């Protein structure tokens, strides 16, 4: 095959991009039409949160207690089907017959908007049919709104921890801080900074301590914290030391450590954000700013499971 020059390819190659490039007036017209079409569609699209979708399926249920399936099929189901078929808007009829009961489903045509009017007509026909059915049959129960879709979404959320629990936790941290700082204050030190991390009871104290010690070692090596002293109690662990960082800079350093040295799976979702405390007396105010949820995700899951089981029994 002979080599084709660039000029030959330019002259003989045609595609959509080249067409619109060479015919810019058409390109602008198509673009304008597309924009106008989009604006028209946006302002004319359904805006209801729960749009009204017409249901075109209904069911007729008729019982004949104690009668065999074959007899119910011949004397009840077929007559109901024939009566439903008299409506010209019917698209499909399906039936299921069991011992002593008949189920007949009717589906209207897709272009029918006023489904209620057609279903009312079918119901009137079935009411007339009742007189011609054998003794002991019926009545015919015509259900035209069973196909309506209704949804209810329940959201389970946890409130924040109350003031009483915040106060109790703050007092526990305050006692731990005072015990750790007492020997240092006796020597004249009063510029200590403490970082406290609260974790849920489901997390082992030793596991939380090992991970927190890794943070303390790195902070000490990088000069963020000097003379670190670990403090711990029920559900919390912290480090008390000397730092030249202010609160904002310390929080930024903690976030940087979490981002670079921890995986998201290692952070317990029920843990509180770390709290920086200068004065032990301000512990309660600091905890009130970073208060966590009252219930854990495990407890919320138990609540939702209980709601689910309760609703299933209704």
CATH of the domain at 120: 3.30.70.1430
Identify whether residues 259 and 204 lie together within a single domain.
yes
- Assess if residue 138 is contained within a domain: yes
- Assess if residue 22 is contained within a domain: no
Identify whether residues 190 and 82 lie together within a single domain.
no
Identify whether residues 138 and 179 lie together within a single domain.
no
The domain boundary, picked from 143, 176, 209, lies at 143
- Assess if residue 308 is contained within a domain: no
CA distance 140 to 58: 13
pTM here?
A: 0.49
The residue segments making up the domain with residue 274 are 163-300
CA distance 96 to 244: 80
Identify whether residues 236 and 130 lie together within a single domain.
no
Burial class (CB in 10 A: 0-12, 13-18, 19+), 80: buried
- Assess if residue 49 is contained within a domain: no
Q: What is the pLDDT of residue 1?
A: 46
Identify whether residues 167 and 296 lie together within a single domain.
yes
Identify whether residues 282 and 208 lie together within a single domain.
yes
Parts of the chain with a pLDDT under 70: 1-4, 6, 9-11, 46-52, 146-150, 185-190, 263-267
- Provide the number of structural domains found in the chain: 2
- Assess if residue 52 is contained within a domain: no
Q: What is the pLDDT of residue 190?
A: 65
Identify whether residues 135 and 228 lie together within a single domain.
no
The domain boundary, picked from 115, 143, 171, lies at 143
- Assess if residue 86 is contained within a domain: yes
CB atoms within 10 A of CB 52: 7
- Assess if residue 71 is contained within a domain: yes
- Assess if residue 217 is contained within a domain: yes
Q: What is the pLDDT of residue 186?
A: 63
Identify whether residues 175 and 273 lie together within a single domain.
yes
Whether the CB-CB separation of 111 and 95 falls below 8 Å is answered with no
Identify whether residues 179 and 278 lie together within a single domain.
yes
List Cβ<8 Å contacts ≥24 apart for 153-159.
154/307, 156/300, 156/303, 156/304, 156/307, 157/300, 158/293, 158/294, 158/295, 158/296, 158/299, 158/300, 159/293, 159/294, 159/295
Identify whether residues 192 and 127 lie together within a single domain.
no
Name the E strands within 175-280.
Answer: 193-198, 226-233, 236-242, 275-277
Query: How far lies 6's CA from each of 9, 17, 142, in Å?
Result: 5, 18, 75
């Amino acid at each position: 095959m002979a080599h084709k020059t660039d000029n030959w390819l330019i002259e003989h190659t045609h595609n959509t991009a080249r067409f619109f490039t060479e015919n810019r007036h058409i390109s602008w017209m198509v673009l304008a039409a597309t924009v106008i079409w989009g604006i028209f569609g946006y302002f004319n699209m359904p805006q209801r949160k729960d749009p009204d979708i017409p249901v075109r399926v209904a069911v007729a249920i008729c019982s004949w207690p104690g009668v065999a399936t074959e007899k119910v099929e011949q004397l009840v189901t077929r007559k109901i089907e024939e009566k439903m078929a008299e409506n010209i808007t019917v698209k499909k009829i399906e039936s299921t017959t069991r011992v002593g009961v008949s189920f007949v489903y009717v589906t209207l045509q897709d272009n029918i908007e006023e489904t209620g009017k057609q279903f009312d007509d079918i119901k009137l026909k079935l009411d007339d049919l009742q007189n011609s059915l054998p003794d002991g049959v019926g009545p015919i129960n015509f259900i035209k709104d069973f196909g309506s879709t209704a949804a209810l979404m329940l959201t389970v959320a946890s409130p924040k921890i109350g003031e009483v629990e915040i106060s109790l936790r703050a007092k526990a941290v305050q006692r731990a801080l005072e015990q750790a700082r007492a020997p240092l204050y006796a020597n004249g030190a009063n510029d200590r900074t403490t970082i406290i991390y609260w974790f849920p009871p489901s997390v082992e104290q030793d596991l939380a301590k090992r991970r927190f010690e890794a943070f303390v070692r790195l902070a000490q090596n990088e000069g963020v914290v000097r003379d670190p002293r670990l403090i711990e109690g029920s559900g919390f662990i912290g480090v008390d030391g000397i730092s030249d960082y202010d609160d904002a800079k310390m929080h930024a350093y903690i976030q940087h450590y979490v981002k670079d040295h921890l995986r998201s799976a290692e952070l317990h979702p029920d843990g509180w954000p770390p709290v920086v405390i200068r004065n032990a007396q301000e512990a309660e105010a600091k905890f009130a700013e970073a208060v966590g949820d009252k219930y854990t995700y495990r407890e919320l899951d138990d609540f939702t499971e209980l709601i689910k089981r309760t609703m299933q029994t209704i």
